[in-house]
A and B are shown apart, each in its own frame.
Chain A
Amino acid sequence: MKQRLVIIGAGMASGRVIEHLVEDAPDAFDITLFNAEPRGNYNRIMLSPVLSGEKTYEEIVTHDDAWYAAHSVTCRFGEKVISIDRQMKVVEGENGLVPYDKLIFGTGSNPFIIPLPGHDLEGVIAYRDLEDTQRMMEMGAGNKVVVIGGGLLGLEAAAGMAARGADVTVVHIMGHLMERQLDEAAGYLLKKSLEAKGITIRLQANSKEIVGQDGKVRALVLDDGTELPCDLLVMAVGIRPNVAVAQDAGLAVGKGIHVDDQLCTSDADIFAVGECVEHQGAIFGLVAPLYDQAKVLAKNLLGEEAAFVQKTLSTKLKVTGCDLFSAGDFTDGEGREDIVFRDPSRGVYKRLVIENDRLIGAVMYGDTADGSWFFGLIKDGTDIVDMRDTLIFGPAYQGGDHADPLSAVAALPPEAEICGCNGICKSTITGAIAGGATDLGAIRASTKASASCGTCTGLVEQLLQVTLGDDFVMPTSQPICGCCDLTHEDVRRLIKSQQLKSQEAVWQELGWKTRNGCHVCRPAINFYLLADWPIEYKDDPQSRFVNERKHANIQKDGTFSVVPRMWGGITNPKELRAIADAADKYNVPTVKVTGGQRIDLLGVKGEDLPYIWADLNNAGLVSGHAYSKGLRTVKTCVGTDHCRFGTQDSTGLGIKLEKVLWGAWTPHKVKLAVSGCPRNCAEATCKDVGVICVDSGYQVGVAGAAGMDVKETERLADVATEQEAIDLTVAFIQLYRENAKYLDRPYKWVAKVGLDWVKERVVDDLAERARLIAAFELSQSIYRKDPWAEHAQKAERYQPLADLTLEAAE
């Protein structure tokens, strides 16, 4: 008989326990997993990269529904456990009772909220879960945020929101940042790096109260009377183990749930793991020891002997550009000695603390490459008398030979820990390399090293280099993908210079390592080829993502959205009737007005696409390319036709531009707008190309952005006539098509090449401008047409290949 195992909390610790159990003894337990959050296990520590935009939530999910299903874990997500009855051995969830033979608490901890007046206002949050993260992701330019707490979490929250453009102030009660992990010197360098990112840091600042307006936070008031206005206030001031349910059940509880070395609580059938436990007086806040606990607990549950031992911990901060490392004990004390090294020009600081000829602590900022070597010396209690003079220079200098950047890694002993998150040491990685893992992906898959927070990636790559020698090529500039060794820029250059006009030519001449690329490189190559050789190369729909191949946007449920073009945002009753009729006929569940001045029909079935297009075509409507890396929309205001401020016919110019540009493929999507006067109702100053009409003519701006980044356009030129405005726009877009890296929006590309470089070609050099316009027109002779009309002819392609429902059922 399988034992019934109930787990409260799907967190990082309990998730590891389940992994060990299903791997070592898939048939031992019937597992039921409760989680208060409405989702399963994700890599909580990676919420910070999600916040800063470096990762998406999907990328940090550890176990998805399919995984739970495959391992027969019964999931009760979004359901809190209210109580347990130890006599009856049942757990009471919000939706009912579940009996257990063994029970695990993995309830983590609760963020501590300082009970300041106003702490319950809307807009005062902690930083713990996805909801908090999403709340912070809404902050951007124009938003003010205050973070209380200058520790690890507070700073990652602050840096993430600053990266999104928010105006962030960190309020910290101590004299330097991260005082538990850093000394003053390192704290200073950290403050400087964060200030360089635009974050305001207030040290020794005591919060007095939070003031609000209409129930929503408005400002934080400090005890010196300073008022810091904010739209969001994040408290990151510490955590408290989540023990309520355990306490109510009468288990022994102190700061956390008391456990012994086997993670067993005061009830022999109940265990606890993770941040909710207290072990020998200590509580936990980093994942490394929790993973150790998880391993020990899994072994014990399977009847093997294992005991949890606390180890020295090391800390890193996951903020790009802030390289810090700390480990062990570095407070001043009698009989302790420091070795310090500074390099002001590089912003490097290192300090080692020595007691009784042993290294007991290390703090580093700016250059943390030797961190794990020092950490190894601390954990092993190595006698350092003999290397004392050169100790601070790291392993590279021990034994005389130095200067090889790789010798540091080469010198690490086999048991040196490389990946702190997963406790992976050097020998495990070199073992994996010997076993055939020859790149980062393979190391991650086989050892988990560098697969959690990723800060040890550089070390793992160096280990590959040291172990494999010339067989491993260190990544210098990033190749497009694993299929080749060349960057986007290299490939674009070679396609032009070697006149490569087909995909096969690219694969062959540029040494592709795969048969025909992958989903990363093939769409890019397809674009480069059609942009450079519009006549010779034929667009390959099978090298496009589904949206561009289907000429509709796929929705998360597999249905599609249909957005007909409305030239310059102008429509008429006939078009509107056709749209309304189509919405009725194809049962379109959602009809939405887009931000691009047109109408979106959402939720159309794939099979219906060709028919709805045909109907729309009949009313004169064509594809709006709302799905393409190409011209999306030209927003306009009503201009001289109706507005008393209008200086030129902005609507007319918008329509002309849209008619010239539509259908063209570009490296990324392109959005335009034309406003009739500087009041700028069409919001032209944040577009890829935005024209503002003035009495004397037209101001053409380029390289604006209003997405993850918000950026005002830069002035390309002021021109007198409408034709010149159109010419400049076309020449600019063609230059972008010819030179930009696939998936770089114009503002990213202009930032790389410089506006002056663009002006020289588009504005100053009239011959080049004419060439660009001619090249664009040549390409448009192929691409300026309605893809819907074409695809409506191929309706059968949108139907199933065959229907075997009857045959197979016989």
Chain B
Amino acid sequence: MSWIDIGHIDDIPLRGARKLKTALGCIAVFRTNTDEVFAAADRCPHKGGPLSEGIVHGQSITCPLHNWVFDLNTGQAKGEDAQIATYTVRVEGERILIDGADLAARSAA
């Protein structure tokens, strides 16, 4: 594993998200109301809605375009046959780290 520092936890609003540009396309990094951080594909599989602009509730995100709801743990869409890719992130102190090896492996694949 190679952890990459992508920012301070307060760079993301509480119950909000920010975009992360990667070779795999945009990844959305979410912060829940209890300071858990998740990362997942920014593109909604329905019609490409930007998930980083959605509403974060519990450990879920609602797409801003047509309200599909995704579980941030698994990426599974609620009541839909769809899933978004999720990525490994962790918080160390107040810094957010993403697993770079994972990203590299996936972009190579």
- Residues of A participating in the B interface, judged by any CB pair closer than 8 Å: 58, 64, 66-67, 70, 441, 444-445, 514-519, 522-523, 540-546, 549-550, 554, 556-558, 606, 797, 800-805, 807-810
Contact = CB atoms under 8 A, between A and B. Distances in A.
A66 B46 CA distance: 6
Interface in B27-70: 29, 33-34, 45-50, 53-58, 60, 62, 64-67, 69
Interface in B78-106: 79, 81-82, 98, 100, 103-104
A22 to B, nearest CB: 10
Contacts of B81: 67, 70
Q: Which of A554, A802, A805, A810 has its CB near the most chain B CB atoms (within 10 A)?
A: A802
Nearest to B31: A542
A561 to B, nearest CB: 14
A58 B67 CA distance: 11
A695 B43 CA distance: 58
A801 B65 contact: no
B62 to A, nearest CB: 4
User: Lowest 7 CB-CB distances: which A-B pairs, in order?
Assistant: A519-B62, A801-B18, A546-B64, A542-B15, A546-B53, A808-B103, A66-B45
A542 B53 contact: no
Contacts of A556: 47, 65
A92 B19 CA distance: 45
Given A64-B47, A809-B23, A804 B57 contact: no
Interface of B: 4, 6-7, 11-16, 18-24, 26, 29, 33-34, 45-50, 53-58, 60, 62, 64-67, 69, 79, 81-82, 98, 100, 103-104, 107
Contacts of B69: 518-519
B104 A810 contact: yes
7 contacts: A64-B47, A518-B60, A541-B16, A543-B15, A546-B64, A808-B107, A809-B107
Contacts, number: 116
Contacts of A70: 81-82
B21 A516 contact: no
B73 to A, nearest CB: 14
Given A545-B64, A802-B6, A518 B57 contact: yes
Contact of A800 (B24, B26, B67, B107): B26
Contact of A66 (B6, B12, B26, B82): B82
Contacts of A606: 50
A557 B48 CA distance: 8
Nearest to B81: A67
Contacts of A66: 45-46, 82
A541 B17 CA distance: 12
B45 A516 contact: no
B22 A804 contact: yes
Given A543-B15, A804-B100, A805-B22, 8 more contacts: A64-B46, A519-B55, A542-B55, A801-B20, A804-B103, A805-B21, A807-B4, A807-B100
A549 B54 CA distance: 10
B54 A546 contact: yes
A82 B54 CA distance: 44
Contacts of A58: 66
Nearest to B106: A808
Contact of A542 (B14, B103, B107): B14
The residue in A441, A516, A556 that gathers the most chain B C-beta atoms within 10 A of its C-beta is A516
Contacts of B7: 801-802
B56 to A, nearest CB: 7
Nearest to A63: B81
Given A66-B46, A67-B82, A801 B19 contact: yes
A518 B57 CA distance: 5
B14 to A, nearest CB: 7
Contacts of A445: 79
Nearest to A442: B79
B58 A805 contact: no
A327 B83 CA distance: 42
B67 A519 contact: yes
B33 A516 contact: yes
A514 B59 CA distance: 10
Contacts of A803: 20-21
A803 to B, nearest CB: 4
A556 B49 CA distance: 8
Contacts of B53: 546, 549-550, 554
Contacts of A64: 46-47
Given A515-B33, A808-B100, A802 B57 contact: no
Nearest to B102: A808
A804 B4 contact: yes
Contacts of A517: 57
Nearest to B33: A516
Given A70-B82, A556-B65, A801-B29, A808 B47 contact: no
B18 A800 contact: yes
Contacts of A515: 33-34, 57-58
Nearest to A71: B81
Nearest to B96: A801
Contacts of B45: 66
Nearest to A550: B53
Contacts of B107: 808-809
Nearest to A441: B79
Nearest to A796: B11
B19 A808 contact: no
Contacts of A801: 6-7, 11-12, 18-20, 29
Contacts of A441: 79
Contacts of A546: 53-54, 64
A800 B62 contact: no
B44 to A, nearest CB: 9
A543 B55 contact: yes
A808 B22 contact: yes
Given A70-B82, A546-B53, A801-B6, A516 B20 contact: no
Given A445-B79, A802-B21, A804-B20, A514 B6 contact: no
A800 B21 contact: yes
Contacts of B46: 64, 66
